[in-house]
């Protein structure tokens, strides 16, 4: 299949990543409003927040088995509307059990959505014969920025959650259903028969280095999303307004880094790009930990965005290359560690900050991210080299 025939599939999948970024940002940035609407106590809130990634992990595991019977594109086609409708349910309810049901549905569907999106992304990258995964994740980052901006507007104008969410859901549900017509079937890619028949089992010992890297990356990411504002305000003594800057800068630099990251992978290879990103992220954490003032801290979070942004997409891509005949299974299992890192990161930094110091706590995700250097060879493309002079022919038939 030529690039021209693949472009609609690539565009529709990028749109799916974008919509998911919007939906997730609309949920997590309105957590205080959700808490107020349902009267969720501070003691109970962590349980609600932890339930979403735990159920997402369950959804990812279920998807591993589901794609043995149905095509990943069908899982994505129907899980994305469920995510959006669950988001609307969060805004529409009034009783505690209602938000619990909506968040449970959101978590399960997000797990299926994340797994199936990345399955299709790896399948398309294989068909193209060159790195395109970072572009999909750039679309997600752009969606996160748009979603956070919409959430800010809803909070600024004091809109009810339902009123804030309804236009987004009303526009995106039909849009993703239409776009899903062009999803490329992950099961139709190279090695599909082996994937469906189980001829090439996924050996967890071989996948483990990538699982650890995924966990470390999301520990770093959750540290930024959950603690950057508090760190600037409480440790670096910034104003409340300035304390909102680091996360916004982090999201923008993540978008920029992913937008150009595929070019770096094609030119220098995934191992070099992952190593560079790891060192840059670790340097960012070091700058944050040593920052004498707010703007130096913001500079550190900027480095973090540029560094961390390349690691997760390349981890999914590496899993697909490692098990070309069972990439769907490998990606579903790897995706679980996205949620493991998210669950570990925020409580870890909070506990260390309370028991020791928040400056010292920033050195722990720094050290964990640096461990990625130990496993960098796991990203080696082998015969599937994506780089100048090494791309496979573009007329690759994916069925």
- For 382, other C-beta atoms within 10 Å of its C-beta total 8
- Rounded to an integer, the average pLDDT of 337-359 is 93
Taking CA 138 as the corner, what is the angle to CA 134 and CA 141, rounded to the nearest 5 degrees?
A: 140
What pLDDT does residue 387 have? Answer: 47
pLDDT at 297: 96
Lowest mean pLDDT among 41-55, 105-119, 256-270, 285-299: 41-55
**Nearby residues of 30 by Cβ (< 8 Å), 6 or more positions away:** 151, 154, 155, 161, 164
- The chain-wide mean pLDDT, for the chain, equals 89
Full set of structural domains in the chain with CATH: 1-188 (1.20.1250.20), 190-388 (1.20.1250.20)
Q: How long a stretch of residues is the chain? A: 399
Q: How confident is the model over 250-293, as pLDDT tens digits?
A: 999 999 999 999 999 999 999 999 999 999 999 999 999 999 99
Could you tell me which residue, 31 or 117, shows the higher pLDDT?
117
CB 194 within 8 A of CB 329: no
Residue 392 region by backbone torsions, left for phi larger than 0, else alpha for psi between -120 and 50, else beta: beta
What's residue 253's pLDDT?
A: 96
Q: In this predicted structure, what is the pLDDT of residue 3?
A: 65
Residue 137 above 90 pLDDT? Answer: yes
User: How far is the C-alpha of 225 from the C-alpha of 248, rounded, in Å?
Assistant: 10
Which pLDDT does position 43 carry in this prediction? 85
Q: What is the DSSP letter of 184?
A: P
Q: Give the model's pLDDT for residue 200.
A: 67
Please state the rounded mean pLDDT for residues 306-322: 96
Find, among 31, 155, 37, 32, the residue nearest to 94 by Cα: 37
The b-or-e profile of 161-185 (16+ CB within 10 A means b, else e) is: beebbeebbeebbeebeebbebbbb
Q: Is the pLDDT of residue 27 over 50?
A: yes
- Answer yes or no: is pLDDT of 120 > 50: yes
Between residues 360 and 382, which one has the greater pLDDT? Answer: 360
The pLDDT of residue 2 is 55
Cβ-based neighbour number of residue 351 at 10 Å: 11
HSE on the CB side for 140, CA within 13 Å?
A: 21
- CA dist 168 and 177 (Å) reads 14
Q: Please state, in angstroms and rounded to a whole number, the distance separating the CA atoms of residues 365 and 350.
A: 12
Taking the C-alpha atoms of residue 201 and residue 71, their distance in angstroms, rounded to an integer, is 19
Which pLDDT does position 398 carry in this prediction?
29
Which of 198-202, 363-367, 379-383 bottoms out in mean pLDDT, i.e. has the lowest? 198-202
- Nearest Cα to 21, choosing from 194, 154, 215, 168? 168
Question: Which pLDDT does position 240 carry in this prediction?
Answer: 81
The Cα-based distances of 43 to 35, 46, 80, 216 in angstroms read 11, 7, 31, 27
> Of the given ranges (16-25, 204-213, 237-246, 298-307), which has the lowest mean pLDDT?
237-246
pLDDT band at 32 (very low <50, low <70, confident <90, very high): confident
User: Which of 361, 363, 213 lies closest to 282 in space, CA to CA?
Assistant: 363
Residue 88: CB atoms within 10 A of its CB come to 18
Q: How far apart are CA 315 and CA 212, in angstroms?
A: 10
Distance CA 219, CA 346 (A): 7
Average pLDDT rounded to a whole number, residues 39-62: 92
Q: Is the pLDDT of residue 394 over 70?
A: no
Question: Using CA atoms, how far apart are residues 95 and 343, in angstroms rounded to an integer?
Answer: 26
Residue 377 pLDDT greater than 80, yes or no = yes
Mean pLDDT of 82-90: 97
Q: Which of 120-134, 361-375, 381-395 is predicted with the least confidence, judged by mean pLDDT?
A: 381-395
């Amino acid at each position: 299949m030529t690039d021209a025939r693949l472009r609609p599939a690539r565009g529709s999948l990028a749109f799916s990543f974008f919509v998911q970024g919007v939906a997730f940002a609309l949920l997590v940035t309105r957590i205080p409003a959700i808490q107020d609407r349902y009267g969720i106590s501070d003691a109970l809130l962590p349980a609600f927040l932890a339930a979403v990634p735990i159920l997402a992990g369950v959804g990812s595991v279920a998807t591993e088995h589901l794609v043995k019977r149905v095509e990943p594109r069908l899982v994505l086609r129907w899980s994305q509307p469920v995510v959006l409708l669950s988001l609307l349910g969060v805004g529409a309810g009034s009783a505690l059990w209602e938000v619990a049901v909506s968040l449970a549905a959101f978590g399960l569907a997000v797990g299926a959505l994340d797994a199936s999106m990345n399955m299709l992304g790896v399948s398309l990258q294989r068909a193209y014969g060159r790195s395109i995964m970072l572009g999909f994740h750039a679309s997600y980052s752009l969606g996160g920025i748009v979603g956070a901006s919409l959430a800010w507007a809803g909070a600024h104008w004091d809109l009810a959650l339902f009123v804030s969410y309804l236009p987004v859901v009303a526009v995106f549900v039909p849009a993703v259903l239409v776009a899903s017509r062009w999803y490329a079937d992950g099961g139709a890619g190279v090695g599909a028969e082996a994937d469906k028949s189980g001829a090439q089992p996924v050996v967890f010992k071989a996948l483990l280095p990538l699982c650890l890297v995924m966990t470390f990356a999301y520990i770093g990411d959750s540290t930024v999303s959950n603690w950057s504002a508090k760190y600037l305000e409480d440790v670096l003594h910034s104003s409340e307004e300035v304390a909102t800057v680091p996360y916004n800068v982090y999201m923008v630099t993540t978008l920029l880094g992913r937008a150009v990251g595929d070019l770096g992978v094609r030119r220098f290879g995934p191992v070099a790009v992952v190593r560079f990103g790891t060192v840059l992220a670790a340097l960012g954490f070091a700058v944050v930990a040593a920052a004498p003032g707010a703007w130096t801290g913001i500079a550190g979070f900027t480095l973090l965005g540029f560094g961390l942004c390349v690691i997760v997409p390349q981890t999914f891509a590496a899993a697909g290359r490692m098990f070309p005949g069972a990439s769907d299974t490998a990606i579903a299992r790897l995706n679980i560690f996205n949620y493991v890192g998210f669950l570990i990161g925020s409580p870890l930094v909070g506990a260390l900050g309370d028991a020791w110091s928040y400056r010292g706590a920033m050195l722990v995700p720094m050290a964990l991210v640096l461990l990625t250097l130990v496993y960098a060879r796991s990203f080696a493309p082998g015969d599937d080299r994506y780089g100048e002079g090494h791309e496979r022919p573009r007329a690759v038939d994916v069925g």
